[in-house]
Structure formats: C-alpha cells, structure tokens
C-alpha cells in the first residue's frame, strides 16, 4: 500500500518512511478485527472513530506562515505536499516547498482533489 500511495501522486522515493507511517495509521483505523465488527482503533481506545480528517497522501496543500514575521505584502502561506498524520498530536505532517523541510502543523489547507489539472494549451484547442 505504501508503494501505491508513493507512485499514485509521484512523490519522491526518499519520503518512503512517511508513506509507511501513513499506511500504518490508516490500516489501524479502517481494518476490522477478525470475528468482531470493531477496528483496532476502536478496540484500543473504546470509542468510535471519526475519519473525516483523512486526506489523500501527496496532495498539494497550503501552510499558514504563522511562525514568521511577515511584511505587509508577503504571502501568508507556503505551498507544500501532504505527507501524513502526527502520532503525537492532532497535526498534519507536510513538506514545505519553499523552505524544503518536513514539519508538523495544524494550520494547513489540503487540496485532496483527485482530478488531474486541466491543460490550457491554445494549440490543442484549435486542432
């Protein structure tokens, strides 16, 4: 499954560790234990799981620049790539494309649209 999510969004292969962590996080929350109608998460925590926070691995995202002093016309966000979920708190793990670091943050907007971007090439329109 980790290989599939790496190749699905064409994420760099050196991020394979993050792909495996995300795969384990997802499998622990969606796979049912044999003989029961409960997931491993529900057995361990004794509460129902909410999965609306699940996002598509490798999706583009926008990270709020809340840790920096910004000037008036500076951009308030950086572009990044969604890499998974934090194991310590309710944060997402993202790769910041501007600073080129992997960071944990809750101030992120993830665009998990599965459609490929549409090309707007004028030569294709008039053929």
Q: Does residue 124 form part of some domain?
A: no
Environment class of residue 47 by beta-carbon count within 10 Å: exposed (0-12), middle (13-18) or buried (19+)?
exposed
| pLDDT of 124 above 60 | no
> How many structural domains does the chain have?
1
Print the domain residue range for 8: 2-113
SS3 33: coil
Which band of pLDDT confidence, cut at 50, 70 and 90, is reported for residue 8? confident
The verdict on residue 32 lying in a domain is: yes
As a whole number of angstroms, the distance between CA 77 and CA 84 comes to 19
Domain presence at residue 64:
yes
pLDDT in tens, 54-78: 888 888 899 887 777 777 777 777 8
**How far is 12 from 96, CA to CA, in rounded Å?**
14
Residue 78 forms part of a structural domain:
yes
Distances from the Cα of 71 to the Cαs of 6, 68, 79, 99, 100, in angstroms? 37, 10, 18, 18, 21
Considering only residues 9 and 83, tell me which one the structure prediction assigns the higher pLDDT.
83
Is 118 inside any structural domain? no
Is residue 119 assigned to a domain?
A: no
Give the closest residue to 23 by CA, choosing from 96, 109, 85: 85
pLDDT, tens digit (0-9, with 9 covering 90-100), for 64-118? 877 777 777 777 778 998 898 888 888 899 998 888 889 998 888 888 775 544 4
**Overall pTM > 0.75:** no
Q: Residue 99 contacts by C-beta under 8 Å, 6 or more apart in sequence? A: 78
How far is it, in rounded angstroms, from Cα 50 to Cα 61? 22
């Amino acid at each position: 499954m980790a290989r599939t999510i790496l190749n699905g969004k064409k994420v760099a292969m050196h991020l394979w560790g993050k792909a495996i962590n995300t795969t384990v996080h997802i499998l622990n929350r969606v796979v049912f234990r044999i003989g029961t109608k409960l997931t491993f998460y529900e057995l361990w925590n004794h509460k129902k799981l909410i999965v609306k926070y699940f996002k598509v691995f490798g999706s583009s995202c926008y990270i709020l620049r809340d840790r920096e002093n910004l000037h008036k016309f500076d951009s308030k966000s950086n572009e990044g790539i969604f890499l998974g979920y934090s194991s310590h708190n309710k944060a997402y793990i993202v790769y910041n494309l501007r600073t080129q670091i992997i960071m944990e943050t809750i101030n992120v907007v993830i665009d998990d649209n599965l459609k490929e971007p549409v090309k707007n090439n004028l030569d294709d329109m008039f053929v």
